[in-house]
Structure 1
Amino acid sequence: MSSLEELYNELIAKSKLLDHDPDPARLHTLREELDQLDYRIRVEVPAGERYYELNLLSRQANASLTAADTRAQIARNVAHAEHEREAHDAAHPTILSPRSPLADYTPNALTRSERNWREGIERER
């Protein structure tokens, strides 16, 4: 049987292997595993140095899972925004997409440079 330290380290390793768009079901499974380990240390481990170190491992695992959850949320938001842009482009075929580089194009170089200056866009040198 693995020690609690080994179980936490395995959980941390699993959470670090999650890609940029982790599966929500996999995240949920890893969260449940972390909750079970946290319950075990609260019940089985007396207060002291080992308890403190296990809590540190628990925090590290929690931070890693939270980062993976955040990456998943960002990936979902990006996919939703892309879908919204595609729907807008399909619904309005004669209007340039708001994200199109041509949507704010002006032929006048002075007007364009003033706008770029206001928006903080510098010309590459």
Structure 2
Amino acid sequence: MLATLGGCAQVREPTGGPVDETPPRLVLAEPPTGSTGVRPERILLSFDERIKLDRVRDNLVISPPLAVAPDVRVTGGRTVEVRLNAPLEQGTTYVFNFGNSVLDLTEGNAASDLNYVIATGEHLDSL
């Protein structure tokens, strides 16, 4: 009986499954993108998978530019936190274009075309 069981096991490396080719997808934003009449101290962007940041200082374009650069970091593995270090101007629409700075953790697929828009006034200006 031992001879029968000994011949069944094969030693080999695990296959690891298919390569992840899907970029992270934004599933929740706080405040929600498109919000008006908001002046947050921080912005949270949550994704459907674990993420990392790549050259966020080079890739993140904020329009209009902020007086003081925000602190940007990953929290909880799936969320980008943008901590604003100065109040936003009243009556202004802000666009945060992350470029290719948000990547999935395993394969480095970029969440391209990631834009976040809010307005401190009562309406969004045309973009």
Q: Does TM, normalized by the shorter one, top 0.5?
A: no
Higher helix fraction (1 or 2): 1
> How high is the TM-score relative to the length of structure 1?
0.26
Q: Which has the higher strand share?
A: 2
TM-score by length of 2: 0.25
